[in-house]
């Protein structure tokens, strides 16, 4: 009995050490830092990053989009990971978001006064409000994620993924990359040919007003599906069905905006499709294929991962 108790005690100590090791991988808690450093992290750090984005805004549209959207979202989630209290995280995220958005405008509009390469809706001061609200929400989500990560047991089980998820995520990356390639170009022989009043080669961001953002949102579908599967969440539909529908829908939207409804620009006959259009079509098809295979596997009886 004594030996059993010692063994159980050793196992408990080992489990506690394992949990402590997992917790040590998370960012330090904001509340454990001295107040001066807390103020710097909540205001100066996001203002400095916003200043960088404000300068890039006048130099490159692509670089600004990367810095101010996906990378900024990731950084704000990391901010939330420094909190266990969601309300505290949301408050800090609101302040940080306001400093971030405000610094973009101050640097771009007042200090260097350059024409933004990326269109910002008027009135431009609303950008600071938008980044503050989104910053608050993202930090709130990050704090909740920390609570999940600190619970015992594996948070994500990658062994549950099948080749279908990797096909879908590959399609997502292909579609994302296509947005930065040339989708359409105007004829060199016709001086009247134009897209949005301009001539030359145009990527998805320069061609569309809404479809580019919709395509960007479609890239998230395979990632969300993989997350759900690794977490083992129960669903009311077959896993992969929504991803398949998303891929098929955006495949048809790309076909509509290049074949069925004609090509963007005027005159249509003097506008040609470029490599980005075909790559985007391939990416959407990959997302649909990944979803189709995943829901087919589920319908056939939830076979073990990796078995087709």
Does residue 267 have a cis peptide bond before it, meaning omega lies within 30 degrees of 0?
yes
Contact in structure between 244 and 171 (CB atoms under 8 Å): no
Q: Which two tokens stand for residue 249?
A: 């829908």
Contact in structure between 296 and 170 (CB atoms under 8 Å): no
Can you say whether the dihedral through the CA atoms of 133, 138, 141, 146 is positive or negative?
negative
This prediction's pTM: 0.61
Give the DSSP per-residue string, 129-175: HHHHHHHHHHHHHHHHHHHHHTSSS-S--GGG--HHHHHHHHHHHHH
Per-residue pLDDT tens, the chain, 308 aa: give them: 444 454 444 444 444 444 444 445 778 898 899 999 999 999 999 999 999 999 999 888 888 888 998 889 989 989 998 999 999 999 999 999 999 999 999 998 888 877 888 877 778 888 999 999 999 999 998 898 888 777 776 666 677 777 888 888 899 999 999 988 899 998 887 777 888 888 888 888 888 888 888 898 888 888 888 878 777 777 666 777 888 888 899 999 999 988 888 888 778 777 888 999 999 999 999 999 988 888 777 666 554 555 45
Can you say whether the dihedral through the CA atoms of 59, 65, 66, 67 is positive or negative?
positive
Contact in structure between 86 and 138 (CB atoms under 8 Å): no
Matching residue, tokens 């949102």 = 217
Helices marked H in the chain? 2-24, 35-39, 45-57, 61-66, 72-81, 86-105, 126-149, 163-178, 204-207, 211-218, 220-231, 241-255, 275-299
Residue 29, strand partner residues: none
The backbone torsions φ and ψ at residue 195, rounded to the nearest 5 degrees and listed phi first, read -125, 120
Condensed to tens digits (0 to 9), the pLDDT of residues 209-235 reads 888 888 988 888 888 888 787 777 776
Question: CA geometry: angle at 63 spanning 96 and 166, to 5°?
Answer: 90
- What DSSP character marks residue 215? H
Count of other CB atoms within 10 angstroms of residue 157: 13
Q: Which two tokens stand for residue 186?
A: 């105007």
Domain map (residue ranges) of the chain: 26-149, 158-299
Which of 289, 284, 225 has the alpha carbon at shortest distance from 253? 284
Matching residue, tokens 């408050």 = 91
Matching residue, tokens 């985007």 = 280
Condensed to tens digits (0 to 9), the pLDDT of residues 111-158 reads 887 788 887 777 888 899 999 999 999 999 889 888 877 777 666 667
How many Cα atoms occupy the beta-carbon half-sphere of 277 within 13 Å?
A: 23
Question: If 0-12 CB within 10 Å is exposed, 13-18 middle and 19+ buried, where does residue 240 land?
Answer: buried
């Amino acid at each position: 009995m004594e030996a059993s108790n010692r063994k159980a005690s050793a196992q408990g100590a080992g489990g506690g050490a394992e949990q402590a090791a997992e917790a040590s991988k998370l960012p330090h808690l904001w509340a454990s830092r001295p107040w001066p450093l807390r103020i710097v992290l909540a205001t100066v750090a996001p203002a400095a990053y916003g200043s960088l984005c404000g300068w890039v805004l006048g130099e490159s549209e692509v670089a600004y989009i990367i810095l101010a959207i996906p990378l900024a979202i990731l950084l704000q989630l990391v901010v939330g990971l420094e909190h266990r209290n969601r309300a505290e995280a949301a408050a800090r995220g609101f302040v940080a978001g306001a400093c971030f958005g405000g610094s973009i405008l101050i640097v771009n509009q007042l200090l260097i006064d350059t024409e933004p390469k990326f269109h910002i809706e008027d009135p431009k001061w609303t950008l600071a409000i938008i980044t503050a609200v989104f910053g608050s929400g993202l930090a709130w989500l990050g704090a909740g994620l920390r609570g999940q990560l600190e619970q015992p047991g594996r948070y994500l089980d990658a062994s549950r993924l099948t080749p279908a998820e990797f096909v879908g995520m590959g399609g997502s990356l292909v579609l994302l990359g296509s947005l930065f390639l040339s989708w359409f170009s105007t004829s060199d022989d016709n001086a009247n040919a134009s897209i949005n009043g301009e001539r030359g080669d145009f990527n998805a961001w320069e061609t569309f007003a809404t479809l580019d953002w919709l395509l960007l949102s479609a890239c998230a579908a395979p990632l969300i599906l993989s997350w759900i599967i690794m977490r083992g969440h129960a669903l009311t539909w077959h896993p992969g069905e929504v991803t398949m529908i998303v891929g098929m829908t955006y495949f048809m939207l790309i076909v509509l905006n290049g074949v069925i409804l004609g090509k963007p620009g005027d005159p249509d006959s003097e506008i040609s499709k470029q490599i980005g259009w075909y790559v985007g079509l391939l990416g959407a098809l990959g997302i649909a294929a990944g979803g189709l295979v995943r829901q087919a596997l589920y319908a056939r009886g939830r076979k073990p991962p990796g078995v087709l």
